[in-house]
Structure 1
Amino acid sequence: MTTRGLPLVSHLLFTDGSVNPEQRLGVGACLLLPASFLADSAGEIDRSELTRGCLYRRFSDTSSTELELQTLLWGLSIYREQVVPADCGGLRLYSDSQCITGLAGRRERLEVQGFSAARSGKILANAPLYRAFFAASDELGFEVVKLVGHCRKADRDKVQQIFAVVDQYARRELGHWLGEARAVGNSSDVEIATRFH
C-alpha cells in the first residue's frame, strides 16, 4: 500500500531548532518514532517518554533557516543509521519550517538557476544544504508535512503535541548552552561539538 506514490509510512521524524541570532548559536532537536506510535498512544501523550527519546545537536555560526535545514539533515542521518536498510517503509517528516516544507516546490527553479540568486547570479548561501536535502529526498523518498508552530495547547492534535515536545526540548537546550556561554564569559569558549542527550 502506498500514499501518493510513497511506500506505507513506517517512521515519523520530528525536527525543530532554536537559534540565538545575535550569537549565531543554535540547537537542533529531533525525535524519531515508529508510525505505530500515533495509533498506539490514545489521548494524551507521555511527554516525559518523548523527551527521553529526543536528541539534540549544537550548531555554531548559523541562522534560523540554516539551522532548520542542518537539523533536518542530521535527523535523516540518524534515520539512516537506526532504520535504513532494515526497514524499507516510508518516512514522514514533520516541520514548522516554511523553507523545508516549501523546498520540493522550489526544486525545479533552484536547479535550473544553478542554486543561484535570480538577480545577482550569486550562489545561494544555503545551496549546499538544499542540494543535500534533494539528494536525501531522492534516496529516501520521504514525505514532508507542514505543521503550525506554537499553536494553542487546546488546538493541538497528537502530532502537534509531539512536535511541541521537540520544540520545547530545542529551546531548553539552547538555554542551557547560552547559560554555559554566560558562565564562561564568551560563547566562543564553549564547546560547540555535537552533543547528544
Structure 2
Amino acid sequence: MLFTDGSVDTKTRIGFGAYLAINSTESPRADLKTKVKVKKFENTSSTTLELQTLLWAIDDVFLLHPEKTKRVAVYSDSQNILGLLARRSSLEVREYFSRDGKQLNNTEFYQQFFKAMDQCDCQIIKVDGHKPRHSKNDTDQLFALVDKAARFALREFNRQIS
C-alpha cells in the first residue's frame, strides 16, 4: 500500500510531498507515523506536486527494487492522478498538446507517470482527503498520516523563513 499527498504554498510555489509505503496495516499508528517520508519541491503547484510526490515515492520504494515489486495499491486524493489513466490514450494521441495547440504544463510528469504505471502493477484508489475524524475508516486514518506530515512540513518551512 502506498499513500501519497502534498501541500503547497501557492505564493512561494514551494511544496512538501509525503508518502507512506506499507505491506500491512497491522503496525500501530505511532510506528507508521515514523515511516512517513517527506520531501521539499520547489517551483510547483498543487497538481504538479501530487504527481511529483507519487513519482518520487514509486521511484524511491518500488523501482529501485523491481524484483520486490508486487501489486501496489496507491491511495490519493488527487483528482488529476485518479483521472490520468483514463486520459492516457487521448493525451498520447494529441502528443500532450491541448486542443488549442499548447503543450500541456505537466507533459514530462505525465509521461513519467505512465512509464511508472507500466513498470508497476498499480491500482489508484481515491481517498477523501479531509474527512472529519469521526468519519474516518482505517484507510482514511493512514492517509491522514501523510496529509498531516506534508502540511506540517510546509507550515514549519514557512515559519522558519518568516
Per the normalisation by structure 1, the TM-score is 0.79
Distance 1:52 1:15, change over 3 A: same
Deviation at 1:92, TM superposition (A): 0.9
Q: How many residues align?
A: 162
2:17 is paired with a residue whose SS is: strand
Q: Which has the larger radius of gyration?
A: 1
Deviations 1:63-87 (A, max 9, x none): 00000000000000112266431x2
Aligned partners of 1:26 and 1:148: how far apart in 2?
A: 20
Q: Where in structure 2 are the equivalents of 1:83-102 lying within 5 Å?
A: 83-85=65-67, 87-102=68-83
What is the 5 A alignment of 1:177-188? 177-182=157-162
Matches within 5 A, 1:65-84: 65-80=47-62, 83-84=65-66
String of CA shifts for 1:17-39, please: whole Å, max 9, x gaps.
000001101000001000xx23x
Unaligned stretches of 5+ in structure 1? 1-11, 183-197
Give the direction of change, closer, same or farther, for the CA distance of 1:15–1:88 in structure 2 (3 Å limit): closer
Deviation at 1:89, TM superposition (A): 2.0
Q: Which runs of 4+ in 1 moved over 2 A?
A: 80-84
1:178 Cα deviation after fit:
1.0
SS, match of residue 30 in structure 1: strand
Cross-structure match for 1:15: 4
Tell me which of 98, 105, 115 is aligned to 1:117.
Answer: 98
Specify the alignment match of 1:171 in structure 2.
151
What amino acid does structure 2 have at the position aligned with 1:169?
A
Task: Tell me if 1:132 matches 2:112.
Answer: yes
Cα deviation, 1:81-111, whole Å, max 9, x if unaligned, reads: 66431x2421110000000011001001100
1:177 shift after superposition: 1.0
- Tell me the SS of whatever aligns to 2:105: coil
**Contact 2:55/2:112 (8 A) holds in 1:** yes
Q: Distance in 2 between matches of 1:112 and 1:50?
A: 41
In structure 1, distance between residues paired with 2:158 and 2:40: 11
RMSD of aligned Cα (Å): 1.3
Distance 1:95 1:164 in 2: 11
Percent of pairs with identical residues: 38
